[in-house]
A = this chain, B = another copy of it.
Amino acid sequence: MFDEKGILFVLSGPSGVGKGTVRQRLFEKETHLKYSVSATTRKKRPGETEGVDYFYKTKDAFKKMIEQDELLEYAEYVNNYYGTPKEYVEEQIEKGKDVFLEIEVQGAMQVKRNFPEGVFIFLFPPSLEELKNRIVRRGTESNDLVINRLKEAKKEIDMMSEYDYVVVNDDVDKAVEKVKAIIVSEHCKRDRIENQYKKILEDDTNVRTIN
């Protein structure tokens, strides 16, 4: 009905909160969303696929992307880089497609500066105890790294106030339903569509018949 632009949705939250799981489940249900695959220098984990979960880069290759301003955001996190290629996101939004990013908190805040019209969703742990268990269970980090990650997580939770929405991840399906509702309702926001609606009324020849 409307020549509407897409919306950039950013799902973020502390490391270990379950962002990846929520994103995967969401994409099983919401086929209209475009997922922007991030670039990273961190090592591939078992079960992950190049070009699907991440584009895995060497540090040198990643730094070149930064220099050439090819990233919408990037962050160094626990000695690795993560970033979002810029061009794809901008193209999809212009075409009216919603783009969904799942990224670390530092990256989300850079996106917010570059795309203040984006919608920022903070995935919240049911408790810090649960968050700790999830990070420990992952089993890919040394003890020192686990403690580092938990400290980072606490700092990141303090950044919640920069977000538009908070979704608690006590149940993956419930969290996904909430993210889906946020996507639908954001398209109904008055300030996004007011001008388009008024234009339709002005174009409507019937306006003259009741003036």
Is A111 close to B, CB under 8 A? no
**B165 and A201 within 8 A (CB):** no
In the complex, what distance in Å separates the CA atom of A132 from the CA atom of B157? 52
Contacts of A170 in B (CB 8 A): 1
| A130 nearest in chain B by CB position | B206
Indicate which residue in B127, B129, B161, B188 contacts A182 across the interface (CB closer than 8 Å). B188
Q: In A109-161, which residues have CB < 8 Å from any B CB?
A: 121-122, 124, 127-129, 132, 147, 150-151, 154, 157, 160-161
Contacts of A121 in B (CB 8 A): 188
Contacts of A180 in B (CB 8 A): 181
**A204 and B129 within 8 A (CB):** yes
**A201 and B128 within 8 A (CB):** yes
Apart from A163-B190, A164-B190, A180-B181, what 8 extra A-B contacts exist at CB < 8 Å?
A: A129-B204, A157-B201, A165-B185, A166-B188, A166-B197, A167-B188, A184-B185, A185-B186
Residues of A near any B CB (own CB < 8 A): 1, 121-122, 124, 127-129, 132, 147, 150-151, 154, 157, 160-161, 163-168, 170, 177-178, 180-186, 188-190, 193-194, 197-198, 200-201, 204, 206-207, 210-211
23 A-B pairs within 8 Å (CB atoms) are namely A1-B168, A121-B188, A127-B204, A127-B206, A128-B210, A129-B206, A132-B210, A151-B210, A154-B211, A160-B197, A164-B189, A165-B188, A166-B188, A166-B190, A166-B194, A177-B184, A178-B185, A178-B188, A181-B181, A181-B185, A181-B188, A182-B184, A185-B186
